[in-house]
Amino acid sequence: MQRPLCFIENSLLVLYIDPVSASMLPPKKSLGQNFLRDENVARNIIDSLNLRPDDVVVEIGPGQGALTKYLAAKCSRLVAIEVDERAVRLLQDTFAESIEVVHTDVLTVSLSTMFRKESRRLRVVGNIPYNITSEILFWMFDHHEIVEDATLMVQLEVARRFVAQTETKDYGILSVLLAYYTEPEFLFKVSRNSFFPRPEVDSAVVRLRFRENLQKCDRELLTAVVRSTFGKRRKTLRNGLRYMGFDSAHLDTVPFDLTKRPEELTLDEFLNLTELLTPYRGEIGKGAFDAGKARMRKKR
């Protein structure tokens, strides 16, 4: 059923006003804010979580509380991390002491410190700003031991990368690293009309179930290899690895087909390649590893 519209009329103009959008905070472009305004989508997200009474939930960027109002009633502890001080005040006024509101940039939060007394792994939920999706993913990778799952609203194009298969145009850095840390699942598409302001693209809700036991690997080197080789996507693996700083003579000794391109490799093949390159790790400079870390966001 369509939401009723209010209207203001004068002799020159009739203005139609969506009462939900009209009551929202003015969005800040610098924060990448697009507030969820569709209650059906909010309820679908909550239903997909199958929350348990003793769950501990971390909500990233709750905004005005479109999901918060449902989460607060269904879990034992809800911590909402919000950088916008206007939204922080609104959340504190609305939910009082029933939830914990942390006023900070989520990328500065140490979940291990904040939740060191919790006996169970955390569940993360959030409508993620498009401009820091990768940074938030890497932030969660850093806390993989204590995160059970993450249910995220992201740009549709990015969601497709999360679950992409080898030798497809969407297969890339996120596809490989998410497969290593999680079991990604595409849940459902969300129309751009569900947000205020209306973005130029559609979104999707994805579920990332974090693996309790990661395959043994030099994770820093794996990340650097994946990012560097996909950074030279049209080149062979050999070219990408040489660009990282690996010596050609040593690459000649690696028993791996380096004439392949990165989009041809499965996660297991990237893990194998990383293991074979580990003895030569010292050849590459610090810059190769710094480039593999996506934690620093652009200044607002």
pLDDT band at 111 (very low <50, low <70, confident <90, very high): very high
Partnered with residue 36 across adjacent β-strands are 195
Distance CA 268, CA 221 (A): 14
Q: Is the pLDDT of residue 13 over 80?
A: no
- Ordered by where they begin, the domains of the chain are 29-210 (3.40.50.150), 219-290 (1.10.8.100)
Q: What is the pLDDT of residues 189-239, one digit of tens each?
A: 999 999 988 889 999 999 999 999 999 999 999 999 999 999 988 899 999
Rounded alpha-carbon distances, angstroms, from residue 297 to 114, 130, 294: 22, 12, 8
Confidence of residue 24 (pLDDT cuts 50, 70, 90): low
- Mean pLDDT of the residues in the chain: 88
pLDDT band at 33 (very low <50, low <70, confident <90, very high): confident
Q: What is the pLDDT of residues 289-300, one digit of tens each?
A: 765 454 433 333
* pTM of the shown model: 0.87
The two three-digit tokens of residue 117, written as one number: 């007394």
| Confidence class for position 27, pLDDT limits 50, 70, 90 | low
What whole-number percentage of the chain has pLDDT above 90? 75
Inter-residue contact 184 to 281 (CB < 8 Å): no
* Residue 18 CB neighbours (<10 A): 14
Of the candidates 158, 160, 205, 185, the one whose C-alpha atom is nearest the C-alpha of residue 45 is 205
- Tokens found for residue 128: 């993620």
Burial class (CB in 10 A: 0-12, 13-18, 19+), 41: buried
